[in-house]
Amino acid sequence: MTPKTVTVAHSPDSDDAFMFYALATDRLDTGGLEFQHILSDIETLNQRAHDERYDVSAVSIHAFAYLADKYALLASGASMGDRYGPKVVAKEAFRLSELRNRLIAIPGERTSAYLALRMVEPSMRTTVVPFDQIIDHVLDGKADAGLIIHEGQLTYADAGLTQIIDLGEWWYQETGLPLPLGGNVIRRAMGPDRIRQVARLLRESIQYALDHREEALAHAMRYARDLDTSRADRFVGMYVNELTVDYGERGRRAVRTFLDRAHALGLIPHAVPVEFVDA
């Protein structure tokens, strides 16, 4: 019997590479399933999910608001910032109240980072720039400030930029909860049995990486974008941890609060019923 191929799409960064290490390197008994990994930036994945391009995909929690009819949110695979997260950075400090008068380079309009920033200031001017070009965009004077995600959260100061706001800390002060950034979703059309099987394997892959951290980190270093091992280990620890194995009650509440607040503020068009698929 020909093995069933499951397409899994995620970002080409160190935390996702760490998370999917066991599946990407055949460390797990998949029961005949073959996993095909597709790497792309998160905003592209957000857009492709509208067409159900992949069976499983990393998406922004913001984007999930527009996908809940097609995809279910897996209980494992979360990227959450617990008192840290995406940052607005600039060459020179300015007051948060001045955001509305500045041009901000953002990594995509469906990213959770952008949704959180709009909760802070809904009326700023923005320009969409690939996430890995935002720091240079600010340095070149093409934008007044940049909204940085991924490894740039640890490297922006090396480029001489200064922090205007850490959105993860801001969200914590607002709610006492971690900031939900990304999650793994699975196509509802796959059916309940296949969904549960894939959910279990994805959870096992995350747990395997945490249990075999040194080898998983060595694999992740291929995608660390100029981070040394120490910084890569720190970055992976920020976004692959107990909340990634399972959202838990606190993580589930964070997702629902984030989307409920966005709806109440008119930043997404409808309320989002959030279901979590357990392994």
Evaluate whether 56 touches 38 at the Cβ level (below 8 Å). Answer: no
Each residue's pLDDT tens digit, 103-158: 999 999 999 999 999 999 999 999 999 999 999 999 999 999 999 999 999 999 99
Percentage above 70 pLDDT, the chain: 99
DSSP result, 88-157: EEESS---GGGGGGSEEEES-TTSHHHHHHHHH-TT-EEEE--GGGHHHHHHTTSSSEEEE-TTHHHHGG
User: The whole model's pTM is what?
Assistant: 0.96
Mean pLDDT, residues 157-165 taken together:
97
Please say if the pLDDT value at position 266 is more than 80: yes
Q: Which amino acid is located at 43 in the chain?
A: E
What pLDDT score was predicted for residue 1? 39
What pLDDT score was predicted for residue 3? 55
- Catalytic residue positions, numbered: 150
Class of domain 87-175: alpha beta
Question: For residues 94 and 116, what is the distance between their CA atoms, to the nearest angstrom?
Answer: 19
| CATH 3.40.190.10 residue spans of the chain | 4-80+180-277, 87-175
In the three-class reduction of DSSP (H, G, I as helix; E, B as strand; rest coil), residue 243 is classed as: helix
How high does pLDDT run on average in the chain?
96
What pLDDT score was predicted for residue 219? 96
Class of domain 4-80+180-277: alpha beta
What pLDDT score was predicted for residue 279? 76
